[in-house]
Amino acid sequence: MRAVVRRRLSSGAIVSVPLLWTLAFLFVPYLIMFTYSFYQKTFPMFVPAFQFGNYLTIISDPQYYQVLFRTFKIASIVSTAALLVAYPLTYFLVFQLKSSRLRTLLYMAVIVPLWVSYLLRAYTWKTILGNEGILNSFLVWMNILSEPTDIFLYNQFSMVVTLTCIFIPFMVMPIYTALEKVPRSMIEASKDLGVGPFRTFLRVTLPLSMPGVIAGLTFTFCLTFGDFVAPFLVGGPNGFMIANIVQTQFGAALNWPLGAALSIVMLMIVLTIISLSDRLERAGRIDLG
Amino acid sequence: MGNIIQIENVTKTYRGGIVAVDDLSLDVGEGEFVTLLGPSGCGKTTTLRMVAGFETPTNGRIYLAGEDVTELPPYRRQVNTVFQDYALFPHMTIRDNVGYGLRVSGVPKTDIAPKVFEALTTVGLLDKADAWPSNLSGGQKQRVALARALVRKPKVLLLDEPLSALDAKLREAMQVELKHLHRRLGLTFVFVTHDQTEALIMSDRVVVMDRGRIVQAGTPTDLYDHPATPYVANFIGTSNMIAGEVSFANGELTAVRFDGGEVRCASGGGRFSVGEKVIASVRPEKVHLHGKGEFPPDHTVISGTVMDSLFHGNTFRLEVDIRQGEPFLVDIQLKTGVELAQLPAAGSAIDLVIDPWTVSVFPVEPEEMP
């Protein structure tokens, strides 16, 4: 009896440290933020209150809801683009490459950029797409353009390109894992039953790799949705995303209550996406055993 | 009865120079149940996969019903495979699994339903049509895989160690069931296994393979009673191997002398000359204890000492020292309880009687093909 109690106590002690940590540094800050979102802004800062004015501003002021829509749109485009690039690439790595050493090498080549500073990778695109950049120089050198153009940088296009490139590893990783788990014998069984390679892909390989696709879409969407560096570096005037607005509210605008309300809205959207994907993944979960 | 499969001088070499199948030729008759038997790595699965189309031979041709299919992809061949791990599609019901090939290749829905019904009836799983693969037992998955392979009415059914994942009792039941199914459908079965009992029970013909080559092919009884090499004698059933020297040879009898005596062999007459080093092999159950009864004069008697006796349930296995390397094994069938008391105890001297027709003689060097 006593041993059981002691074991419970010790396991409780082990769990309590990370539990307290999350409580103190995750839940408490969120709770404070949640409280702030109902506060009233009054010069010079804000006063405690319970009113929905901040949330009303977000859904009534086009300045805010338009940015929210734009962020949603860009996150959708980025995750779709990442999927369209990552899936064929990963499929090639897993199924077409015969040499496993080369496969690991190329897989690492996709993943290693994650260890490179995010800022550095975003800057890279600035040097590629910019007025004096590699792309412009190349086009001028090829005589396709007579002089460098500005159309590549500081717009939503450059943002999508940059974000897609930065977040692609998060798409490749889950798809790679999912494709590797597809038993080769199932693909062979499909062909054995008279089904050609393309339809085998549509009917067997793709459905069996869906968990990876869903996970990848969720990662890239949520990461893009909360991004504020790419819009800042390569986004230009109409490239602001919701996270930039939040940053401004807590910074220059000194409107913490509105910033808090925007953060809560963001959080809700991301949580919805995650729970949705979790449910999808659960519904489509397949017992490969 | 024509040949449905013709494998002509097929070689499969993998990257790194590993030869999986080495100049193998084999004809399979229509309606035949052929088993490829051998240890892992002997090339039996590779051979099956080349017939299915999953591997392309490095050399040689494969014909299916007279048509050269060597280069054809698997989805253009009229053969179907039952996979070792069943390979049922986890995202489809049993009904959809069985109907998959028909559905995707555009067979009208109204035609698919009766075919699926028939295939599931054949394997006795009609009541599971709407279940998912993950809810079936191993034996049931096995049957679904079988139904799925049969539904397209292939010319040949290929089975790649399909019973290896089942437990012993279920495996025995499935062996009999497969054999009956084969008889009922009249379809050609090519079965791959490393289990010699399975091969003996089910097949019309067993093809024993070793290192990418066929060592011997024949009916199960043929292989058992007349193994062509010590390898076959050892792989199929248990054999006592006696190394010795030919002491006498004429057209009818060969006598092999070893340290503990001499054993006579009636088969293989004329193949050996006096003085040649050979191996004589005899099955444990073909050896008798010298009792009171008479025995024909051509039988051999060998004296030995009982080292141990092991109870095997339906038999007693005696380990007898006859003064050569390994203990000599003798299986004694127990018919009544009375004989139990008469079993020689460990340490007692006994005489063993061997019928020359049950002894095989092989040259010492297992024939390495040129």
Question: Which CATH number is A224's domain given?
Answer: 1.10.3720.10
Contact A194 B89 (CB under 8 A): no
Does residue A71 carry a pLDDT above 70?
Answer: yes
* A46 in a structural domain: no
- In total, chain B counts a number of residues equal to 370
Strands (E), B178-293: 188-193, 205-210, 213-218, 240-249, 254-258, 261-265, 277-282, 287-289
The CA-based dihedral angle spanning residues A34, A35, A38, A41, taken in that order and rounded to the nearest 10 degrees: -110
**Who among B81, B90, B152 is closest to A288 (CB)?**
B90
Distance (Å) of CA B236 to CA B199, B286, B332:
9, 15, 19
- Band (B292; pLDDT cuts 50, 70, 90): low
Residue B141 is predicted with a pLDDT of 94
Does residue B234 carry a pLDDT above 60?
Answer: yes
Output phi, psi for A32, to 5 deg: -60, -45
In the block, residue with structure tokens 């349930």: B313
Q: Based on the domain organization, do B256 and B123 belong to the same domain?
A: no
- The DSSP symbol for B305 reads E
- Band (B337; pLDDT cuts 50, 70, 90): low
Contact A287 B101 (CB under 8 A): no
**Who among A183, A194, A196 is closest to B85 (CB)?**
A183
* Paired strand residues for B278: B244, B363
In the block, residue with structure tokens 């807590």: A250
- Band (B298; pLDDT cuts 50, 70, 90): confident
Give the gap in angstroms from C-alpha A268 to the nearest C-alpha of chain B: 32
Cα B169 off chain centre by: 19
Q: Based on the domain organization, do B219 and B137 belong to the same domain?
A: yes
Give the gap in angstroms from C-alpha B146 to the nearest C-alpha of chain A: 12
- The DSSP symbol for B139 reads H
A97-153 pLDDT tens trace:
888 899 999 999 999 888 888 888 888 888 888 888 888 888 888 888 888 888 788
More confident residue, B200 or B295: B200
More confident residue, B293 or B357: B357
Spatial distance between the Cα atoms of A175 and A178, rounded to a whole number of angstroms? 5
Burial of B235 (0-12, 13-18, 19+ CB in 10 A): buried
Residue B368 is predicted with a pLDDT of 46
Q: Based on the domain organization, do B99 and B245 belong to the same domain?
A: no
Q: Which domain holds residue B322?
A: 238-363
Q: Based on the domain organization, do B172 and B265 belong to the same domain?
A: no
Contact A193 B75 (CB under 8 A): yes
Q: Based on the domain organization, do B220 and B265 belong to the same domain?
A: no
Q: Based on the domain organization, do B202 and B89 belong to the same domain?
A: yes
* B370 in a structural domain: no
* B313 in a structural domain: yes
Chain A residue numbers with beta carbons less than 8 Å from the beta carbon of B85 are 183, 185
A180-236 pLDDT tens trace:
999 999 999 999 999 999 999 999 999 999 999 999 999 999 999 999 888 888 887
- The DSSP symbol for A232 reads I
Q: Based on the domain organization, do B116 and B249 belong to the same domain?
A: no
Q: Which domain holds residue A90?
A: 81-283
- In total, chain A counts a number of residues equal to 289
Chain A residue numbers with beta carbons less than 8 Å from the beta carbon of B90 are 208, 286-288
Residue B276 is predicted with a pLDDT of 85
Q: Based on the domain organization, do B264 and B185 belong to the same domain?
A: no
Q: Are B158 and B150 in contact (CB under 8 A)?
A: no
Cα A104 off chain centre by: 24
* B169 in a structural domain: yes
Please list the alpha-helical segments (H only) found in chain B: 44-52, 94-104, 109-122, 138-150, 168-185, 196-202, 220-225, 230-235, 337-342
Q: Based on the domain organization, do B182 and B331 belong to the same domain?
A: no
Neighbours of A180 (CB within 10 A): 14
Q: Based on the domain organization, do B138 and B62 belong to the same domain?
A: yes
Least confident of B68-77, B227-236, B318-327: B318-327
Q: How many domains does chain B have?
A: 2
Q: How many domains does chain A have?
A: 1
Tell me the Ramachandran region of residue B211: left when phi exceeds 0, alpha when psi lies from -120 to 50, beta otherwise: left
> Would strands B188-193 and B33-37 be described as parallel, antiparallel, or unpaired?
parallel
